[in-house]
A = this chain, B = another copy of it.
Amino acid sequence: MIVLLGPTGYIGAKLAAGLEAAGRPWRGLSRSELDYTRPGRLREFLHGTGATWLINAAGFTGKPNVDACETQKAECLFGNAVLPGILAAECEAVGIPWAHLSSGCIYQGRSGGRGFREEDPPNFDFRSGFCSWYSGTKALGEEILRGAPRCYVWRVRIPFEEEDNPRNYLCKLLRYRRLLDAENSLTHLGEFVLEALAMMERRAPFGVYNMTQPGAMTTREIVGLLQTRGYFPQGAEFFADEKDFMRTAASTPRSNCVLDVEKALQAGCRLTPIREKMAACIRELRVPVS
Protein backbone atom coordinates (compact mmCIF):
# COMPACT_ATOMS: atom_id res chain seq x y z
CA MET A 1 0.00 0.00 0.00
CA ILE A 2 1.31 3.39 -1.05
CA VAL A 3 0.79 6.33 1.29
CA LEU A 4 0.60 9.68 -0.47
CA LEU A 5 1.23 12.88 1.48
CA GLY A 6 -0.36 16.01 0.07
CA PRO A 7 -3.00 14.17 -1.96
CA THR A 8 -5.03 17.30 -2.62
CA GLY A 9 -2.20 19.52 -3.82
CA TYR A 10 -1.77 20.24 -7.51
CA ILE A 11 0.74 17.48 -8.26
CA GLY A 12 -0.46 15.30 -5.37
CA ALA A 13 -3.94 15.08 -6.88
CA LYS A 14 -2.44 13.99 -10.20
CA LEU A 15 -0.41 11.30 -8.48
CA ALA A 16 -3.55 10.18 -6.66
CA ALA A 17 -5.44 9.91 -9.94
CA GLY A 18 -2.51 8.04 -11.48
CA LEU A 19 -2.38 5.54 -8.62
CA GLU A 20 -6.13 5.06 -8.88
CA ALA A 21 -6.02 4.59 -12.64
CA ALA A 22 -3.21 2.07 -12.33
CA GLY A 23 -5.22 0.08 -9.82
CA ARG A 24 -2.46 0.32 -7.25
CA PRO A 25 -3.52 0.18 -3.59
CA TRP A 26 -2.94 3.62 -2.14
CA ARG A 27 -4.16 5.99 0.51
CA GLY A 28 -3.89 9.74 0.79
CA LEU A 29 -2.83 11.25 4.09
CA SER A 30 -3.38 14.90 4.87
CA ARG A 31 -1.89 16.81 7.73
CA SER A 32 -5.31 17.58 9.15
CA GLU A 33 -5.95 13.85 9.43
CA LEU A 34 -2.59 13.06 11.03
CA ASP A 35 0.07 15.59 11.90
CA TYR A 36 2.86 13.69 10.19
CA THR A 37 5.20 16.61 10.77
CA ARG A 38 5.60 15.51 14.38
CA PRO A 39 8.43 13.01 14.57
CA GLY A 40 7.23 9.54 15.48
CA ARG A 41 3.63 9.95 14.34
CA LEU A 42 4.08 8.88 10.76
CA ARG A 43 6.08 5.76 11.51
CA GLU A 44 3.24 4.47 13.68
CA PHE A 45 0.79 5.15 10.89
CA LEU A 46 2.97 3.54 8.24
CA HIS A 47 3.54 0.53 10.43
CA GLY A 48 -0.14 0.22 11.34
CA THR A 49 -1.34 0.45 7.76
CA GLY A 50 1.32 -1.88 6.39
CA ALA A 51 2.53 0.79 4.00
CA THR A 52 5.14 -0.35 1.48
CA TRP A 53 5.89 3.06 -0.02
CA LEU A 54 5.54 6.72 0.85
CA ILE A 55 5.25 9.49 -1.72
CA ASN A 56 5.69 13.04 -0.47
CA ALA A 57 3.77 15.49 -2.61
CA ALA A 58 3.35 17.89 0.33
CA GLY A 59 5.44 21.02 0.26
CA PHE A 60 5.16 24.77 0.38
CA THR A 61 4.95 26.42 -3.03
CA GLY A 62 3.42 29.78 -2.22
CA LYS A 63 0.10 31.02 -3.50
CA PRO A 64 -0.48 32.45 -6.05
CA ASN A 65 3.26 32.13 -6.78
CA VAL A 66 6.72 31.92 -5.23
CA ASP A 67 6.61 35.58 -4.20
CA ALA A 68 4.39 34.47 -1.31
CA CYS A 69 7.27 32.38 0.08
CA GLU A 70 9.18 35.59 0.79
CA THR A 71 6.62 36.58 3.40
CA GLN A 72 6.01 33.09 4.81
CA LYS A 73 9.63 32.12 5.26
CA ALA A 74 9.34 29.84 8.28
CA GLU A 75 6.43 27.80 6.87
CA CYS A 76 8.19 27.49 3.53
CA LEU A 77 11.46 26.40 5.12
CA PHE A 78 9.64 23.89 7.25
CA GLY A 79 7.59 22.36 4.44
CA ASN A 80 10.39 22.14 1.88
CA ALA A 81 13.51 21.42 3.96
CA VAL A 82 12.69 20.22 7.47
CA LEU A 83 9.78 17.98 6.47
CA PRO A 84 11.80 15.89 3.97
CA GLY A 85 14.30 15.23 6.75
CA ILE A 86 11.54 14.11 9.09
CA LEU A 87 10.07 11.85 6.40
CA ALA A 88 13.45 10.28 5.67
CA ALA A 89 13.79 9.36 9.35
CA GLU A 90 10.23 8.01 9.53
CA CYS A 91 10.61 5.86 6.41
CA GLU A 92 13.97 4.54 7.56
CA ALA A 93 12.48 3.69 10.94
CA VAL A 94 9.80 1.61 9.25
CA GLY A 95 12.15 0.32 6.58
CA ILE A 96 10.20 1.40 3.50
CA PRO A 97 11.38 3.22 0.38
CA TRP A 98 9.90 6.57 -0.52
CA ALA A 99 9.81 9.36 -3.06
CA HIS A 100 10.08 13.11 -2.61
CA LEU A 101 8.92 15.79 -5.01
CA SER A 102 11.62 18.33 -5.59
CA SER A 103 12.12 21.02 -8.17
CA GLY A 104 14.55 21.95 -10.91
CA CYS A 105 14.26 25.57 -9.77
CA ILE A 106 17.52 25.24 -7.82
CA TYR A 107 19.33 26.02 -11.08
CA GLN A 108 19.46 28.93 -13.45
CA GLY A 109 20.78 28.94 -16.98
CA ARG A 110 21.68 26.11 -19.36
CA SER A 111 24.99 24.89 -17.94
CA GLY A 112 26.82 25.69 -21.13
CA GLY A 113 24.04 24.29 -23.28
CA ARG A 114 24.06 20.70 -22.06
CA GLY A 115 21.60 21.35 -19.22
CA PHE A 116 22.12 20.72 -15.53
CA ARG A 117 22.69 17.15 -14.42
CA GLU A 118 21.54 15.73 -11.13
CA GLU A 119 24.99 15.84 -9.58
CA ASP A 120 25.64 19.48 -10.53
CA PRO A 121 25.58 21.62 -7.41
CA PRO A 122 22.66 24.06 -7.37
CA ASN A 123 23.47 27.55 -8.63
CA PHE A 124 20.19 29.18 -7.61
CA ASP A 125 20.15 28.42 -3.89
CA PHE A 126 21.27 29.91 -0.58
CA ARG A 127 24.78 28.57 -0.97
CA SER A 128 25.29 30.23 -4.34
CA GLY A 129 24.14 33.52 -2.84
CA PHE A 130 21.37 34.34 -5.30
CA CYS A 131 17.93 32.73 -5.25
CA SER A 132 14.34 33.05 -4.19
CA TRP A 133 13.49 31.89 -0.68
CA TYR A 134 11.51 29.06 -2.27
CA SER A 135 14.45 27.77 -4.32
CA GLY A 136 16.74 28.10 -1.31
CA THR A 137 14.47 25.91 0.79
CA LYS A 138 14.06 23.28 -1.96
CA ALA A 139 17.84 23.02 -2.31
CA LEU A 140 18.28 22.65 1.46
CA GLY A 141 15.66 19.91 1.36
CA GLU A 142 17.72 18.04 -1.24
CA GLU A 143 20.85 18.58 0.83
CA ILE A 144 19.14 17.09 3.85
CA LEU A 145 18.16 14.05 1.76
CA ARG A 146 21.66 13.55 0.34
CA GLY A 147 22.68 10.02 1.15
CA ALA A 148 19.15 8.91 2.06
CA PRO A 149 19.45 5.23 1.18
CA ARG A 150 16.10 4.33 -0.40
CA CYS A 151 14.65 7.51 -1.75
CA TYR A 152 13.68 8.93 -5.13
CA VAL A 153 14.01 12.67 -5.47
CA TRP A 154 11.94 13.71 -8.47
CA ARG A 155 12.72 17.16 -9.81
CA VAL A 156 9.75 18.64 -11.62
CA ARG A 157 9.89 21.97 -13.47
CA ILE A 158 7.03 24.19 -14.67
CA PRO A 159 4.23 21.61 -14.77
CA PHE A 160 1.88 21.80 -17.74
CA GLU A 161 -1.05 19.65 -18.82
CA GLU A 162 -4.25 19.55 -20.86
CA GLU A 163 -6.61 20.51 -18.01
CA ASP A 164 -7.97 23.94 -17.18
CA ASN A 165 -6.28 24.60 -13.83
CA PRO A 166 -4.82 27.83 -12.46
CA ARG A 167 -1.57 25.97 -11.63
CA ASN A 168 -1.21 24.66 -15.20
CA TYR A 169 1.59 26.67 -16.83
CA LEU A 170 -0.39 27.01 -20.07
CA CYS A 171 -3.30 28.52 -18.15
CA LYS A 172 -0.91 30.90 -16.43
CA LEU A 173 0.42 32.03 -19.80
CA LEU A 174 -3.13 32.68 -20.98
CA ARG A 175 -4.02 34.53 -17.80
CA TYR A 176 -1.04 36.82 -17.27
CA ARG A 177 -1.26 40.26 -18.77
CA ARG A 178 2.42 40.29 -19.72
CA LEU A 179 4.87 37.43 -20.15
CA LEU A 180 8.56 36.94 -19.46
CA ASP A 181 10.42 35.34 -22.35
CA ALA A 182 12.80 32.71 -21.01
CA GLU A 183 14.11 29.29 -21.96
CA ASN A 184 13.12 26.43 -19.69
CA SER A 185 12.77 22.71 -19.33
CA LEU A 186 9.18 21.78 -18.50
CA THR A 187 7.33 18.78 -17.11
CA HIS A 188 4.17 17.34 -18.64
CA LEU A 189 2.23 16.27 -15.58
CA GLY A 190 0.49 13.26 -17.04
CA GLU A 191 3.69 11.80 -18.37
CA PHE A 192 5.54 12.56 -15.14
CA VAL A 193 2.96 10.69 -13.09
CA LEU A 194 3.06 7.63 -15.35
CA GLU A 195 6.85 7.51 -15.48
CA ALA A 196 7.39 8.23 -11.79
CA LEU A 197 5.01 5.49 -10.72
CA ALA A 198 6.59 3.12 -13.23
CA MET A 199 10.03 3.82 -11.73
CA MET A 200 8.75 2.71 -8.35
CA GLU A 201 7.08 -0.34 -9.85
CA ARG A 202 10.21 -1.59 -11.59
CA ARG A 203 12.51 -0.50 -8.76
CA ALA A 204 14.75 1.77 -10.79
CA PRO A 205 17.89 2.74 -8.86
CA PHE A 206 17.16 5.19 -6.04
CA GLY A 207 18.46 8.74 -6.26
CA VAL A 208 17.80 12.16 -7.71
CA TYR A 209 16.13 12.42 -11.13
CA ASN A 210 15.45 15.41 -13.35
CA MET A 211 11.89 14.65 -14.46
CA THR A 212 11.25 17.09 -17.27
CA GLN A 213 10.74 16.53 -20.97
CA PRO A 214 14.03 16.31 -22.89
CA GLY A 215 15.01 19.68 -24.32
CA ALA A 216 13.78 23.16 -23.57
CA MET A 217 11.47 25.80 -25.03
CA THR A 218 11.17 29.55 -24.78
CA THR A 219 8.02 31.29 -23.69
CA ARG A 220 7.70 32.80 -27.16
CA GLU A 221 7.82 29.38 -28.79
CA ILE A 222 5.03 28.12 -26.54
CA VAL A 223 2.96 31.22 -27.19
CA GLY A 224 3.50 30.62 -30.90
CA LEU A 225 2.09 27.08 -30.55
CA LEU A 226 -0.87 28.41 -28.59
CA GLN A 227 -1.51 30.94 -31.35
CA THR A 228 -1.77 28.18 -33.96
CA ARG A 229 -4.76 26.90 -31.94
CA GLY A 230 -6.44 30.29 -31.79
CA TYR A 231 -5.19 31.53 -28.43
CA PHE A 232 -3.70 35.02 -28.10
CA PRO A 233 -5.65 36.34 -31.10
CA GLN A 234 -4.34 39.83 -30.34
CA GLY A 235 -0.84 38.59 -29.75
CA ALA A 236 0.96 38.36 -26.40
CA GLU A 237 2.62 41.16 -24.53
CA PHE A 238 6.11 40.56 -23.18
CA PHE A 239 8.23 42.26 -20.55
CA ALA A 240 11.18 44.06 -22.13
CA ASP A 241 13.55 41.86 -20.14
CA GLU A 242 14.00 40.22 -16.76
CA LYS A 243 14.78 43.56 -15.12
CA ASP A 244 11.50 44.96 -16.38
CA PHE A 245 9.72 41.86 -15.06
CA MET A 246 11.41 42.08 -11.66
CA ARG A 247 10.71 45.79 -11.37
CA THR A 248 7.05 45.65 -12.28
CA ALA A 249 5.68 42.20 -11.54
CA ALA A 250 7.80 40.11 -9.15
CA SER A 251 9.28 40.49 -5.71
CA THR A 252 11.79 37.66 -5.91
CA PRO A 253 13.92 36.37 -8.80
CA ARG A 254 12.73 33.40 -10.82
CA SER A 255 14.73 30.38 -11.86
CA ASN A 256 14.88 29.82 -15.59
CA CYS A 257 16.84 26.72 -16.42
CA VAL A 258 17.49 23.80 -18.71
CA LEU A 259 17.90 20.34 -17.21
CA ASP A 260 19.58 17.25 -18.63
CA VAL A 261 17.31 14.20 -18.33
CA GLU A 262 19.74 11.57 -19.54
CA LYS A 263 19.76 9.87 -16.14
CA ALA A 264 15.97 9.38 -16.14
CA LEU A 265 16.06 8.16 -19.77
CA GLN A 266 18.84 5.71 -18.87
CA ALA A 267 16.70 4.50 -15.97
CA GLY A 268 13.96 3.64 -18.46
CA CYS A 269 11.69 6.67 -18.23
CA ARG A 270 9.91 7.34 -21.50
CA LEU A 271 9.97 11.11 -21.58
CA THR A 272 8.77 12.67 -24.82
CA PRO A 273 10.86 15.54 -26.22
CA ILE A 274 9.41 18.86 -25.16
CA ARG A 275 8.41 20.25 -28.58
CA GLU A 276 6.49 17.12 -29.48
CA LYS A 277 4.85 16.87 -26.05
CA MET A 278 3.98 20.55 -25.88
CA ALA A 279 2.37 20.52 -29.33
CA ALA A 280 0.32 17.43 -28.46
CA CYS A 281 -0.74 18.91 -25.12
CA ILE A 282 -1.81 22.21 -26.67
CA ARG A 283 -3.83 20.32 -29.29
CA GLU A 284 -5.77 18.74 -26.43
CA LEU A 285 -5.83 21.79 -24.18
CA ARG A 286 -9.22 21.99 -22.50
CA VAL A 287 -9.29 25.75 -22.14
CA PRO A 288 -11.80 27.60 -24.29
CA VAL A 289 -10.39 30.15 -26.71
CA SER A 290 -11.79 33.44 -25.43
Chain A interface (Cβ within 8 Å of chain B)? 35, 38, 73-75, 77-78, 81-86, 88-89, 125-129, 136, 140, 143-144
Contacts and interface: CB of A to CB of B under 8 A. Distances in A.
Nearest to A131: B127
Contact of A73 (B35, B83, B143): B143
Contacts of A38: 35, 38
A74 B136 CA distance: 15
B85 A140 contact: no
Contacts of A89: 74
Nearest to A125: B126
Contacts of A84: 74
Contacts of A75: 85
A77 B81 contact: yes
Contacts of A77: 77, 81-82, 85, 140, 144
A75 B38 CA distance: 11
A72 to B, nearest CB: 9
Contacts of A86: 74
Contact of A127 (B83, B129, B144): B129
Nearest to A130: B127
Nearest to A85: B74
A129 B88 CA distance: 25
A96 to B, nearest CB: 18
Contacts of A127: 126-127, 129
| Interface core residue of A74, A86, A143 (most chain B CB under 10 Å) | A74
A74 B126 contact: no
Contacts of A140: 77, 126
